[in-house]
Structure 1
Amino acid sequence: MSFEKKKVAVNDQTFLTLVNKGLSEEDVIKQAQEIKKLQPEMMEWRIDYFKDVVLMNRLLEVANKVKTIMDKTPILITFRSKKFGGKTELDSEDAYLNLVKIAIDFKLGNAIDIEHDHVSDRIAGLIQDAKAKELGVVLS
């Protein structure tokens, strides 16, 4: 299994990151296990690929399993909208912003990727929330 590799700047630190693009819970778990063996500095979980991304209880359940697998390896949570090359489109700006808020509030990972091309006052609030929860922030 081969994974997309990229360098990601989180706050003022750069991490060599492997990307998990699992479609089902089984895929996400299997990829997390494989990525963990490769010992990257960080794993990016592209939740826009996860077919149950809009089912919050499923997202939280799988996120907890992924955190257990990754243990001390930081996880970057990313939802990429279709217009930015993502897999899933949410039905509104609010849906995207609410999903990011949930990812922050429930600490699905150690860092959150926030698309800056959204309502600026809400983005500023999300960044503030992430920092208050001691999460790293990536603006894309």
Structure 2
Amino acid sequence: MTTLTLGTATAGQNRPLIAVPVTGTTISAVLGQVEQINESRADVIEWRVDYLTDLVNLRAADVQTILFNADKPVIFTWRTAAEGGQRPFDIALYELVYRLAIKTGVAAIDIEHQLFTEVADLVVDARAAQVPIINSQHFFTDTPTNLDQVFGQALTTVADVIKVATMPQTDGDVDYLLATNQQFATEGKPLITMAMGELGQRTRTIGGRNGSQLTFATLGAASAPGQLDLATLLTLLED
């Protein structure tokens, strides 16, 4: 299994990295959340830039300020409305802000699988700058019955990390995701998986045993259904 490394953070055996999302609507609010995470036992920060109300005016200096003040590696993510985010996809703005992130040296960028072809030039730029790319897919209504194809197609892209999040309807759905994750964990790319909602919460604590190398926790508002607060997650992981 290829070990996930994001900046200075490396996943341990059976112990996934813990990322905390930053959902501030202004740069000032983002800085406040970053400072809170700095003082926590989280490993990684996910900056959800789709929460910024003034994203159109984001500048390189803003990104540099966040990175300078962050003591932990930063994943840069614009989650589109189609996959549960705050903003619809806007290719011109999307490519603009992601190029700022690549230029300023974030630890990784998250690009949804459905966008890889549309932003192919951006993918090339990230690869050239050696900024890791997370290929992400989010299924907010169910768990696809063809998860092997979902993982398989993502693995054919040039992404460095594969992320899949599903919404289970039964415990069987959760077991299916965990089993599929374990099946593909040795295919050469690190995996990040979770089943969302209360039903899927166990994937956030035991997923590491099945090869998922990063899990999400909160220090405030959740950015996805079923996220546990950081203190609870740490307790469960250390049991």
Whether these two folds match at TM > 0.5 is yes
Q: Distance in 2 between matches of 1:112 and 1:10?
A: 13
Change (3 A) 1:94 1:118: farther
Tell me the equivalent position of 1:45.
47
The structure with more radius of gyration? 2
Q: Distance in 2 between matches of 1:47 and 1:10?
A: 22
AA aligned opposite 1:131 = R
Are the counterparts in 2 of residues 10 and 138 from structure 1 also a CA contact under 8 Å?
A: no
Q: Deviations over 1:66-98 (max 9, x none)?
A: 112213x110000011111111235x3343234
Tell me the equivalent position of 2:75.
76
Tell me the equivalent position of 1:135.
131
- Relative to the length of structure 2, the TM-score reads 0.47
Q: Distance in 2 between matches of 1:24 and 1:99?
A: 15
Q: Which runs of structure 2 are paired with 1:12-51 in the superposition (5 Å)?
A: 15-51=17-53
Q: Which runs of structure 2 are paired with 1:57-72 in the superposition (5 Å)?
A: 57=59, 60-71=60-71
Are the counterparts in 1 of residues 63 and 104 from structure 2 also a CA contact under 8 Å?
A: no
Question: 1:119, CA displacement in angstroms?
Answer: 5.5
Unaligned 5+ runs, structure 2 = 137-239
Q: Distance in 1 between matches of 2:26 and 2:69?
A: 16
Q: How many residues get paired?
A: 126
- Relative to the length of structure 1, the TM-score reads 0.75
Question: 1:120, CA displacement in angstroms?
Answer: 1.1
- 1:103 paired residue among 101, 104, 108: 101
Q: Distance in 1 between matches of 2:130 and 2:116?
A: 23
Are the counterparts in 1 of residues 56 and 93 from structure 2 also a CA contact under 8 Å?
A: no
RMSD: 2.5
Q: Distance in 1 between matches of 2:122 and 2:17?
A: 22
Q: Distance in 1 between matches of 2:58 and 2:28?
A: 17
Question: 1:10, CA displacement in angstroms?
Answer: 6.5
AA aligned opposite 1:86 = G
AA aligned opposite 2:79 = R
Are the counterparts in 2 of residues 10 and 111 from structure 1 also a CA contact under 8 Å?
A: no
Q: Distance in 2 between matches of 1:85 and 1:94?
A: 20
Question: 1:110, CA displacement in angstroms?
Answer: 1.3
Tell me the equivalent position of 1:89.
88
Moved more, 38-47 or 127-136: 127-136
Tell me the equivalent position of 2:221.
none
Q: Identity over the aligned pairs, expressed in percent?
A: 25
Tell me the equivalent position of 2:115.
118
Change (3 A) 1:104 1:25: same
